[in-house]
Amino acid sequence: MPAKSHLLKPGRISKIVIKPEVKGAVFSIPALAGPSDPTITGAAIEWCRLDVIGACQSFSLPAGAWTGLGTPAGAKGYKYKGAGTPEDPCRSVLVKDKVIKASCKRADLTGPIGTAGVGFEIEMGADRYCAESSAITAAQIKKNDESTWKAIKATAPGACPVPPTPLAGCGTDNQCIFVTSTASTGDLGGLAGADATCNARAQAAGLPGTYVAFLSTSSVDAPGRLGASAGPFARTDGVIVGSSVADLCDESLAAPIELDEFGVLRQSSVWTGSRGDCTRDGSTCSNWTDGTATSAASVGNSAYDTLIWVAGAGLTCDHPSPFYCVQEGS
């Protein structure tokens, strides 16, 4: 369903308005006295950040607070009226054939929120009413900081959004390696800033361990950041891409490093600052502190298992790109 507007204010309010995209179109609503009639079965409502594992807020909507609208009751939809308390935070939920609205005086989700966005669902018996405000649904993000996240004009998702779940494919008998789901200009805050991003992304995906960015600088070769005994290295789906540091950097991989921390396919240019053997080549956006078009850096491409994975081309530093992150060995 298309979300016309979507608002989260941490600790204060969660709101959404959903309307049909086509004028004159209507939503199917639960049948009166049917198996999904909320005045009989109650309902549940949920918001989830789609870029962080476990970042969901779910509220129950008991049957006694629902009222059927129209004559007979339920012919024109249903309305929920709650107390607006921490235990019953949703003051108003409206389900009609031309509009679905929810307003709850509570928001457990915090920002800023990544481009994966926010999913929403009301479950009424066997009926599910879903929306998603994200880059995929072309939502326009009007504000996105610690105090407010607001999106408008999202299209209907192809299916109900699925919150990310922890991956168990790497990190136990091997070291995780992934390409970041987020993209940045060449100003990554230096190696320290890039490492912080790697650890934030890994934590969001529930991956084990600590991480370093696979980046070279004018004085550091990327492999030197891993240690000589590191490996084997596995994508987040468990596929081994290299048995050792030397194997990673012999100008071919066992498989492309094309999955992000959530296991989502990400095929694009990737900041590296390296040659095909992973050593520094001096083109590093001023050691990852310059995000302007007057500077450049070497990039690889995550779609490839040849040397292009690490040294495909050059890119000016104003182009947002992801980078590789590697779990440190024990």
Looking at residue 182, its pLDDT comes to: 87
Q: Is residue 264 part of a domain?
A: yes
Q: Are 133 and 261 in the same domain? A: no
Q: Are 132 and 191 in the same domain? A: no
Q: Are 163 and 33 in contact (CB under 8 A)?
A: no
Q: What is the CATH number of the domain that holds 262?
A: 3.10.100.10
Q: Are 17 and 144 in the same domain? A: yes
Q: Is residue 157 part of a domain?
A: no
Q: Are 7 and 141 in the same domain? A: yes
Amino acid at 198: C
Q: Are 141 and 15 in the same domain? A: yes
Q: Sorting pLDDT into bands at 50, 70 and 90, what band is 122?
A: very high
In the predicted structure, residue 42 carries a pLDDT above the cut 70:
yes
Q: Are 147 and 112 in contact (CB under 8 A)?
A: no
The answer for residues whose C-beta is within 8 angstroms of residue 246's C-beta and 6 or more apart is none
Looking at residue 294, its pLDDT comes to: 94
Looking at residue 323, its pLDDT comes to: 96
Residue range 245-255: mean pLDDT, rounded: 92
Query: Which secondary-structure segment (H or E) carries 288?
Result: helix 285-288
Tokens read off for 291: 């995000």
Q: Is residue 126 part of a domain?
A: yes
Q: Sorting pLDDT into bands at 50, 70 and 90, what band is 56?
A: confident
Q: Are 77 and 199 in the same domain? A: no
Domain boundary pick from 94, 121, 152: 152
| CA 221/CA 302 separation, integer angstroms | 19
* DSSP-based three-state secondary structure for 279: coil
- The least confident of 74-78, 198-202, 228-232, 283-287 is 228-232
Residues linked to residue 188 through DSSP beta bridges, in sequence order: none
Q: Sorting pLDDT into bands at 50, 70 and 90, what band is 229?
A: low
**Between residues 209 and 228, which one has the greater pLDDT?**
209
Q: Are 140 and 32 in the same domain? A: yes
Model pTM above 0.75:
no
Residue 93: count other Cβ atoms within 10 Å of its Cβ. Answer: 24
Question: How many alpha carbons fall within 13 Å on the CB side of residue 305?
Answer: 11
Q: Are 10 and 140 in the same domain? A: yes
The answer for residues whose C-beta is within 8 angstroms of residue 173's C-beta and 6 or more apart is none
Q: Sorting pLDDT into bands at 50, 70 and 90, what band is 314?
A: very high
Each residue's pLDDT tens digit, 66-103: 999 999 988 999 999 998 888 889 999 999 999 999 99
Q: Is residue 75 part of a domain?
A: yes
Q: Are 87 and 179 in the same domain? A: no
Total number of domains constituting the chain:
2
Q: Is residue 319 part of a domain?
A: yes
Q: Is residue 135 part of a domain?
A: yes
Q: Sorting pLDDT into bands at 50, 70 and 90, what band is 114?
A: confident
Q: Are 120 and 201 in the same domain? A: no
For residue 82, the enclosing domain spans 3-152
Q: Are 111 and 14 in the same domain? A: yes
Q: Residue written as tokens 């928001």?
A: 107
Q: Is residue 62 part of a domain?
A: yes
Tokens read off for 110: 């915090």
Nearest to 49 by CA among 98, 125, 131, 120: 120
Q: Are 72 and 206 in the same domain? A: no
Distances (CA, A) of 143 to 111, 147, 277: 10, 9, 42
Q: Is residue 162 part of a domain?
A: no
Tokens read off for 283: 């083109």
Residue range 24-52: mean pLDDT, rounded: 89
